[in-house]
Structure formats: C-alpha cells, structure tokens
Structure 1
Amino acid sequence: MFRQFRIAAVVSATSAQIVTSYPAIAQSAPIPPTNRAEAAPGNGSSGHVPQAVSDIVDKPEQVTVRLDRARSALQPSLGAQVYRFGSGALHNIPQGENTPLNQVLLQAPGVAQDSFGQIHVRGDHNEVQFRIDGVQLPEGLAVFGQSLQTRFANNLSLTTGALPAQYGFLTAAVINIDVKTGINAPGGEVSLYGGARDYLQPSFAYGASAGRWDLFVTGDTLHNRIGIENPTSSFNAVHDLSNQYHGLTKLTFTADADTRVSLIAGISDAEYQIPNNPEQVPDLGISDNGITNYKSRDLTEHQKEITDFGILSLQKQIGSLTLQSSVFTRYSSLYYSPDPIGDLLFDGIGQTAARSVMSTGWQTDTSWRINDSHTLRFGEQAFIERNIASTNSVVSPQIGSAFDGSPIYSNMPVSIQSGSGKTGLVYGLYLQDEWSILPRLTINYGVRFDGVSEYVSASQFSPRVNVVWRPTSSTTLHAGYSRYFTPPPFEEVTNDTISRFQNTSAASELTQNGKVQPERDHYFDGGIDQILFPGVHIGLDAYYKQATNLIDEGQFGAPIILSAFNYAKGEVHGYEASLSYDKGPLSLYGNVAWSRAIGKDITSSQFDFSADDLAYIRNRWVHLDHDQRWTGSAGAAYALFHATTHPLRTSADMVVGSGLRADGSTPNGRALPGYYTVNLALVQSFKSLVLRGTVLRLDLLNLLDRRYIIRDGSGIGVGAPQYGLRRTILAGITQRF
C-alpha cells in the first residue's frame, strides 16, 4: 500500500489498545446512580449476614451474585455517564458475540469510528482504558488488532464524563468487561461462523461450576480478507488477508462466603497483510540498484501482533469493609515486515520494526461503609513497564541536489540499525467519600494523586467532585468536575535516531524533538436522566474539557504504529442525547451527539511535521484530526414467536457520522463526507426436539452497500486512506450442550 510520509518516527511508538461494546437496546441509555442502600451490598445496612461455608456448595449462585455486586460497588459511577450492554444486547446486535469489540461500542453516544479499529470517545483520541472484572489493564501495542473479544463478556459497560477518583491514567472512557463464569454461562457450545471474503470463524466456550470451584474457557480463530480497512472504495481490497487467534480462561475459587480468588488469562495472536493501493507511482526519485519503478498493487507488507495477559485477584469482605486486590501482567509485541524494494521507492525507507512492552502491576480498591451517610473508598494502582524497540532501516543516501533543490540519491541503499530499551513506572492513589446529605441528594468528593517516571517525570494532585440529585423517583440530575492527569504513551524517538537519518531518503524536514508531556485537564459535565414512563428512558448530557499539553497520536511511518505528540492547548466540548424503549419482545434505542475538538501549537515530536504546518498551528486553533461534529447510532430488536420453543429474533442497527477531518486550505481544515451504515440480523433458536440447543444466524453488514470514506490519507498524523466495509453477508450455526 502506497503511503507518503516520513519514517524516522516509527523507531518507537505506542498506541492505546482499542476495544468495543454495544448498547443493550434498552440498556444503552445512562443508568441512574444506585441509591445508598443498593450501592454496597454485603456492607453495613445493606443487609449482609454472615453465611455458612456450606452455602458455597448449596447456594453458589447466590454467593456469586452477592460477591459480584460487592465488587461492582467498589467502583460505582457516582454521577458519571454509564452505558451498559447486557448479555441480551450482545446477542441482539448483528454478528452477536462475533462482533469486534470496537463495533459494539459505536452504538454508545459520542463514540466515533476511525481506521485500524480505533474509536474516539467525546472527542478524545485513544485515552480509553480497559478493565476486566474491575482491574485496569496497562496499554498495549495493538492498533488494528482487537485483543479483547466480545465473547468474553457476560456484560459490558462504558463509563465517561466527570469520573470519580478511582479512575486514573486514561480517562476519556472506562470500558469494563465482566467476564463470564461457569454459573452465568454453564455448559458448552461450539460455533461456526463465516461467509463473504473468505470469512471463517470457528469458536467454542465451556462453563462449569462445582462446589467452591468455577471455570469458564473460550477461544476462537478468525480467517478473512478484511483484516484492515480497504485503501480504495472497491468491493475487495488487494492483499488484505488476516489470521487471528484469541482465547481466555477464568478460574475462580470461593474459599468462604466472603472470600474468593480468581485467575484470568488471555491470549491474542494476529497476523495481517497490509492492503495495497493500486495504480500508485513512486515519485521520490529513488533507485534501488537500478530499479526505479514498482507496481503498488504488488507490495507485500505484513504486521504481526501478540498480546498475552494474566490477572490474579483476591476479593474479601470483612464486616463493613470490602476490598479487591489484584496483581497483573501484560505482554504486547508488534513486528512489521516491509516490502524491501517497494517501501524504499514509495516511502524513502524500507524498515523492519520490532517492538514489545512488558507491563506488571498491582491494583487495590477498598470500600468502607462508615455509616448510613458516608462510604469511604480508597485504593492504589501501579504499572512497571519495560519497553524494547529495534529497527533495521534500508534508506538511500543523498549525494547531491538538483538545480531546483530536489535531492539526488545514490542508487546503492544502505542499512541503519537502531535499538532502545527503557523501564518506567506509572502510579496512582485515591481517596473519596460518598456522602448522602439528604435521602435524594448525594455528593461524591475526593482526590487522586498520579505520577509517571518514564521518559519524563511528573505528578499531579487531582480533585474530583460529583453531585447527584433525584428530585423524583424517575428523574436524576448530575453535575461534576474532575481534574485529570494522563501520562504520555511509553515511547520516545531520540535526537540521535533522528540525526542518523539526515542526508538520506528518510530525513525529516525538521530535527526539533520535544518530549511528549503528560496531559492535564479540567473536565466539567452535567446532565439529566428521565424515565418518561415505564419502558421509555431519555438522557441529556453536556461536557467541556480544557486541556494543557493535549495528547494526540498519528501514524507517521509504514508500520501501523501510532506516535504521540502534544498540543500546548486543547478544548473539547459537546452534547449528547439518548432515547430507549424496552417492553415485551420489542426494544428500540437511538443516540445523537455533537462534539468539537480543537488544539493549538504542537510542542513535542515536531520532527514528524512540516515547518509550514507547525508555523500555522503555532498561533491558530485547528480541528483535531479525529474531530467529528455529528455522531449517531440507533437500533431495534423484535422477537417473533417469543412464546414458543422456536423464537426468531430480528434486529438492526445503524451508525451515522458526519466525517472525520482532512487537510483543506489549512491543516485539518475540512470534514470528510458524512455517511451511514445499516446492519441486519436474523437469529433462529430451537429449544426442543432434535434441534434443541441449535441456533442459526444470518447477518447482513452494510445492507445498502454504502461506499464511505473514513480517512483520505491527509490530515495531521494521518498515514493512508481507508474506506468502510462494503456489503458483507455472514452466517453461522451454534450448538449448545
């Protein structure tokens, strides 16, 4: 695939991993905060009664539910916006549990899609954190790979807005996956799913519970020719094969009615061909041993991504005290193989790049119900990370200049090798009090202290406060303020590395290279949540973020790696509205959001940009490349024959976007064309006779075959064009036993 950009930046880069969820039709709207009596099951006045150890065997479901509720109460929303996706919603969505996680999340308000599986929540770039059973995973390297799968989840939630003090580091949104167990997903199932474009995805799952032990395990393989977005609007991309493997195991031991230990382990292994953009012509004037021309259709570039993680957690209740303490580790690696000749001729460099990050850490969250008016919550998090990067870059030395000033290169390429490693630490502490001033008025106030010691060292105290008022049983109002501290991605391109590429075909126009600094924000949020009448729910919300050293990321090299940079100042504000209906066999939902995200003055990694762009942005506000003015989603599901043993579920969803930014007369000066896509699903279940436990499904993605562009290859930090998926028909069969 042809791309025109400088390559020096790819020596070291990090991206936040990106994952997805899906609004549960009627569950997609914000959920009002729970009241005090419900917020801390198992503590104080919540009615906790010591249980006999025999209850673990005789009543395992009750014990599990009570401990799950206690774990959820450790991290309540308390005025933030929460969108929940229950197991029913995950089955309703077209593709069901086969849906990539990012596609699920697009059904929540204010979530915009981007290329390589990225999502943007409320105008932020990739500042999204992922939690598994409440435990935050460190950032990984996967860009278009989805390391976490929808099939892992019993339910999902997306929390955004003015977050309480327990949420730190990445604060655009918190995506929590409550992993299935042998109790809520008993038995086994095997599934075969596939269709157009060589799509084939077999999967399995098994859950069992016996006495104090509980086990859930699942895995799948995926083979298709739609691994990465097509760089053209054609029906099929050239050179886009993908092979992926995913798996997860959760083992739980309940020692007594107030104590359990769980171990979660997951793997993801993915290989991608980089799709080609045909009919492109090399124009850099480079020769590789006499070869000056190359068909862009024939480029052979590949990328491999691996992610492994493990979480060991202890949950304990002691009277009015509840805690969960966890240790975790995550290994993430990326390896890019270039087309040796083609990359050099088109991009000025053919670079083999390898990166890995090993992160180990711990997290403890504690809740102490002091009395009926106060619940104190406190905890800590820390990640120790080791980052290793190595590259072997083939470039052409510059041997002179033509009369017009254009460079003249040697036809004998040379190799430049580079390697680096760094160990760093990210840590945070928090303390907050949930104070019920009146029966219908609650204030949650607290403070968080975060620090980072990696390529930069910095820290910050961050006050947080949320007020929730429920004037009636059907109306909830909230307002909040949060001070945020976002550590920069764990990466750096050194000045020495930049200087090595000077006077070569991979030279940067500039050599200035300020260090990426932590982002510091003031965030304000307020809204109302109203139940109009049983089954109908509406929510309205507004937010404003003022940022110093706003962190953005871009693709500046052939490897699909994102490199970070700062805008000295940033502002993001927007509005959201949601409506849902859920009654009987019919569920409906709709969301719409308006957002504006701007930045001024790039103050780090300046060598990635042209002098003209830096000069323009220095004193002018520009749209961020991921700024999308309007974002919307809607869906419906209806169960035919729902009272019989052979129900037929029909569902549809739609995603609408007004278009991300692209270069115009100014950097990011225009919006790409708006678009919408519609997906449809039919799911037939059988609950009796010979077909008992059999489920058949038919999915039509982009039903109307809308051609739409996600990126056109221009914009600040945008590397290549990408188009949305054309009409795709998939079908599957699942057998449960």
Structure 2
Amino acid sequence: MHDDHDMHDDHDDDHDMHDDHDDHDMHDDHDDHGHGEPVGGVINRNANRRVIGYREEFWIQDQYTPNDQWTINLGLRLDNIHGYIEAFQVSPRIGVTYAPNKRHAFRAFYGRLFTPPNLEALPFLALNLEGTTAEPEDDTNIRTKPERSHYFEIGSTHAIGRSTVIQLTGYHKYSTNMADAHQFQSTPMLNYFAFERGWQQGIDFSVKTKLSNTLTARGNVAWGRCKGFGLQSGHFLLHGHELRDIQLPGGTYCDHSQDITSSAVVTYRPFTNTTITAQMFFGSGLRSAEEGQRTNSGNEDSNTTYNLSLTQVFPFAKKQKLLLAVDVVNLFDQQEFLNTGEQSVGLGVSHANMPRSVFFRAQWFF
C-alpha cells in the first residue's frame, strides 16, 4: 500500500509534469510535415505483395532469299501476360538486307516491341507512409503498364582490305508507356515506373581489325539521346519538382542518356595458349542538373575505366583443358562518381565507380 505522501513523491506537482511534457518539447517531437510517427500502421496485415505472373508467347519467322544480293526476314510475335497486369500485343517485324558484293552490306529493320513491367515492382497500395520521412509528395499510385514500341534501324557493314571491318548503325525507338526505373532512397532494389511516352535514338560506329597474327583490336563510338514526356505511373517515387518538369511540353531527358559512349578492346597472344586483354570504357556523363535547374538538364562529369586481363590455358588429353585467369578492374584506381543522386529522375543516391579490384578465375573444360 502507498500513502498519500508516496503518491505525491511519484507524481510531484503540476510544475514537474509541465517540465516533462511542455509545449516546446511537443513541438520538437512533431516539428513539421513528414517527420514523426505514421498516422496509422505502416504496413497493414493485408500487405502481402506476392505476385504470381504468367506469360504466353508465340512467334513465327521466315527468311526469304530471292538471289545472292537480297535477304528478307519476316516475323510475327504474340505476347499475352497475366498477374501484375493483363495485357496482349501482336508484333510484326521485317528486316531487309542488300549486299551488292561480299564486301558491303546495307540493312533496314522495323519491329513492334512489347516489354511487360517487372513482377518485382513495389506498389505502395498497402503501405501507409503518411507522417513519416518517406511520405511521398504525390501519393498517386497507378500500375505500370507494358511498354509498347515502334523500333526502326538502318545500318551498313563494310570490309576494308583483308583485316578490317567497319559498321555504322542508326536507330530510333518511339514508345508508349516508356519504361524506366527508380532507386528508392538507399535500397538497391529498383522500382519500375513509366513515362506516358518517349523516344530513344542514336548512332553507333564500330571497327574491328586484325593488326597481326597475334594482335587484334576493336572499338566503338556511340551518340545517343533519350527523352520522356508525361508520367504514366510512379508518381509516389518522385519529388514535386521532378513531377512538374516531366509534365512540361519539352519533356525530360532520361537518367541514362549519355551523349557519348565508347569502348576499345586490344587482345595480344604472345604464345598459343596465353592471352592478354586490355579494355577501355568511356562515358560522357549521366544526366543531372544544378540546384534549381530543370531536372536532367545537365550532365555529370565524364568518366573512363581501364581494365586488364591475363589468361593462360593448359591443355590435357581427350580435349580437356584448364583455364586460369586474373582480371584487374579499374587498373589505375580512378575515384569517380558516376552520379551524385541529385536533380535526376530515377537515381535517389550517389553511385561511385568500383575501386581497383583483382579477380581470379579457374575453369575446367571436359
């Protein structure tokens, strides 16, 4: 039993109670919008996100060669998906190649493409994030629809001398519900969303040459652009200024829209079973923007990575062989940010390149 004095000691007086729970402390705990406890349960008991998907595919294709110079490829594809969303499409495709001789060839292609959304999409229908730091600025939540595209490509291939082949390709892809992905905060999982429409286009030039019996090289340089217009889904993933920029008449560049990319590979075989390979990869910079500027209106800094590989093969009886290799990624240990995670649509956190890393491989062929 407790007498009145003990009870008074436990709950001293009105002044003490006011010190513990004064208005100032309450204001600190619930400072402003988006900081504090959720209004309701963060995940309710019906928040089972399991999705089982089914997909039926049927395609038929044929090749017709009326003579040595012309080749025609025809195809028809049917896609039918169930689960996350119900959708169906019939996709015709046609490709034509003209080769006036064995050293030159010209080609053209048109295809209707169908890309369903990933089953790993994370809709927030069963989440209650109101009043938390993860509360979206726009809680619109629409299922991501399949991307439906018209794809056009033209190109040519030319043999120069006995040891060099060059190739030039141009493409344009126009999409409805153009698919993209967003890295939500620091999680490595991607959330998939779609622009209402968009286009991708580019030009690629490549060359492959044999410099000697032991030395070969190949490389390519490409220019490309990608733009999205309007937002079909994923509103809850984006900030308010990103939503506004996407809705503007001029559209928004995609995060991965680097203007220039290139690569080069040199392979040297000093001995029959020994191969040394050097690689170079260059990117002019992913999309970003300065503070206060339109989303993805600028670029990150360019970056270049060099890799080196040494492979040795040991032959054995009955055509068996052992392959041992060492690979060095980022040979010069260049420290670069691929993106800073700011003023871009689909990248919420910074990404740096891999530090210099050494990998060892062993393979047995039998």
TM-score, structure 2 length as denominator? 0.80
Equivalent position amino acid for 1:634 in 2: A
Deviation at 1:554, TM superposition (A): 0.9
Give the alignment partner of residue 464 of structure 1, picking from 79, 89, 93: 93
Instruction: Give the residue type in structure 2 aligned to 1:530.
Output: H
Q: Indicate conservation of the 8 Å contact 2:39/2:130, yes or no.
A: no
Which residue in 1 is equivalent to 2:5?
none
Deviation at 1:605, TM superposition (A): 2.0
Could you say which structure has the larger radius of gyration? Answer: 2
- What do residues 199-221 of structure 1 show as CA deviations (whole Å, max 9, x unaligned)? xxxxxxxxxxxxxxxxxxxxxxx
Residues 392-417 of structure 1 show CA distances to partners (whole Å, capped at 9, x for unaligned) of xxxxxxx8799985455259997635
Q: Pick from 633, 652, 656: which aligns with 2:263? A: 633
Say whether 1:605 aligns with 2:234. yes
Q: 1:468 to 1:712 in 2, by over 3 A?
A: same
User: 2:157 maps to which residue?
Assistant: 529
Q: Give aligned pairs, total.
A: 331
In structure 2, the residue matched to 1:624 is: 254
1:143 paired residue number: none
Structure-2 residue corresponding to 1:615: 244
Q: For the residues of structure 1 that align with 2:41 and 2:75, how far apart are their CA atoms?
A: 57
Match status 1:672 vs 2:300 = yes
Partner of 2:21: none
* 2:225 is aligned with 1:596: yes
Pick which of 475-484 and 661-670 moved more: 661-670
Q: Which residue of 2 aligns with 1:427?
A: 56
What SS does the aligned partner of 2:244 have? helix
Work out which of the residue numbers 416, 421, 424 in structure 1 matches 2:43: 416
Return the letter of the residue paired with 2:215.
Answer: L
TM-superposed CA distance for 1:490, in Å, is 2.0
Partner of 1:199 in structure 2?
none
How much does 1:435 deviate? Answer: 1.5
* Structure-1 separation of matches of 2:192 and 2:262: 28
Equivalent position amino acid for 1:651 in 2 = T
Gaps (5+ residues) in structure 1? 1-398
Output the amino acid matched with 1:416: I
Correspondence list, 1:479-494, <5 A: 479-491=108-120, 493=122
Closer, same or farther: CA 434–406 of 1 in aligned 2, 3 Å: same
Q: Would the aligned equivalents of 1:510 and 1:607 in 2 still touch at CA under 8 Å?
A: yes
Q: Secondary structure at the match of 2:334?
A: coil
Q: Structure 2 CA distance, aligned partners of 1:633 and 1:457?
A: 40
**CA distance change for structure 1 residues 572 and 695 in 2, over 3 Å: closer, same or farther?**
closer
Change (3 A) 1:655 1:669: same
Give the whole-Å Cα distance in 1 for the aligned partners of 2:345 and 2:52: 30
Q: Structure 2: give runs of 5+ residues left out of the alignment.
A: 1-25
Q: Which amino acid aligns with 2:190?
A: L
- The 3-state SS of whatever aligns with 1:439 is coil
Q: What does 1:351-390 align with in structure 2 at a 5 Å threshold? A: none
SS in 1 for 2:90: strand
* Contact residue 537 and residue 580 of structure 1 kept, 8 A: yes
Q: How far apart in 2 are the matches of 1:697 and 1:571?
A: 41
- 68, 93, 113: which is aligned to 1:439? 68
Map 1:232-381 to 2 at 5 A: none
CA distance in 1, matches of 2:359, 2:31: 55
Post-superposition shift, 1:595? 0.6
Distance 1:594 1:616 in 2: 24
The match for 1:47 is: none
| Alignment deviations for residues 413-467 of structure 1 (CA, whole Å, 9 cap, x no partner) | 9763532333332222223331112222011123222222223222222221100
Q: What SS does the corresponding residue of 2:65 show, helix, strand or coil?
A: strand
Q: C-alpha separation between the residues in 1 aligned to 2:61 and 2:326?
A: 48
1:572 aligned partner: 200
Distance 1:496 1:687 in 2: 58
For the Cα contact (< 8 Å) 2:38–2:129, is it kept in 1? no
Give, in whole Å, the separation in 2 of the partners of 1:421 and 1:734. 38
Contact residue 433 and residue 446 of structure 1 kept, 8 A: yes
- 1:650 maps onto 2:279 in alignment: no
Deviations 1:682-702 (A, max 9, x none): 3455669xxx96766444332
**Structure 1 Cα separation of the partners of residues 254 and 121 of structure 2:** 22
1:581 counterpart = 2:209: yes
User: Cα deviation per residue 1:467-506 (whole Å; 9 max; x = unaligned)?
Assistant: 01111012111101001121112255556424x2223333
**1:697–1:626: structure 2 CA closer, same or farther, 3 Å change rule?**
same
How many angstroms apart in 1 are the aligned matches of 2:341 and 2:314? 48
Q: Distance in 2 between matches of 1:459 and 1:492?
A: 19
What is the alpha-carbon distance in structure 2 between the residues aligned to residue 528 and residue 411 of structure 1?
59
In 2, are the aligned partners of 1:400 and 1:409 still within 8 Å (CA)? no
| Structure 1 position 735, deviation (Å) | 7.8
Corresponding residue to 1:663 among 271, 282, 289:
289
Corresponding residue to 2:332 among 704, 708, 712? 704
Identify if the C-alpha distance between structure 1 residues 584 and 495 changes in structure 2 by more than 3 Å, giving closer, same or farther: closer
Report deviation, 1:532: 1.2
Contact 2:122 2:191 in 1 (8 A): no
The verdict on how the C-alpha distance between 1:506 and 1:440 changes in structure 2, with shifts beyond 3 A counting, is: same
Q: CA RMSD in A?
A: 3.0
Distance 1:534 1:456, change over 3 A: same
Q: Trace 1:191-206 onto structure 2 (pairs within 5 A).
A: none
After superposition, what is the alpha-carbon deviation per residue over 1:335-394, rounded to whole angstroms, capped at 9, x for unaligned? xxxxxxxxxxxxxxxxxxxxxxxxxxxxxxxxxxxxxxxxxxxxxxxxxxxxxxxxxxxx
TM-score if structure 1 supplies the norm length? 0.42
Pairing of 1:686-697 with structure 2 (within 5 A): 697=325
1:656/1:676 contact within 8 Å kept: yes
Cα 1:412–1:602 shift into 2, 3 Å:
closer
Alignment partner of 1:449 out of 52, 55, 78: 78
- Aligned 1:218-233 pairs, distance under 5 A: none
Distance 1:491 1:530, change over 3 A: same
Q: Which residue number in structure 2 is paired with residue 541 of structure 1?
A: 169
CA distance 1:444–1:736, change in 2 (3 Å): closer
* C-alpha distance in structure 1 between counterparts of 2:35 and 2:60, whole Å: 62
Which amino acid in structure 2 is aligned with residue 675 of structure 1? N
1:513–1:604 contact (8 Å) kept in structure 2: yes
Letter in 1 for 2:294: T
Match of 1:503 in 2: 131
Larger RCO: Structure 1 or Structure 2 (Cα < 8 Å, ≥ 6 residues apart)?
1
| Local SS of the residue matching 2:75 | strand
Q: Could you say if the C-alpha distance between residues 700 and 456 of structure 1 is closer, same or farther in structure 2, counting changes exceeding 3 Å?
A: closer
Cα separation, 1, equivalents of 2:81 and 2:365: 48
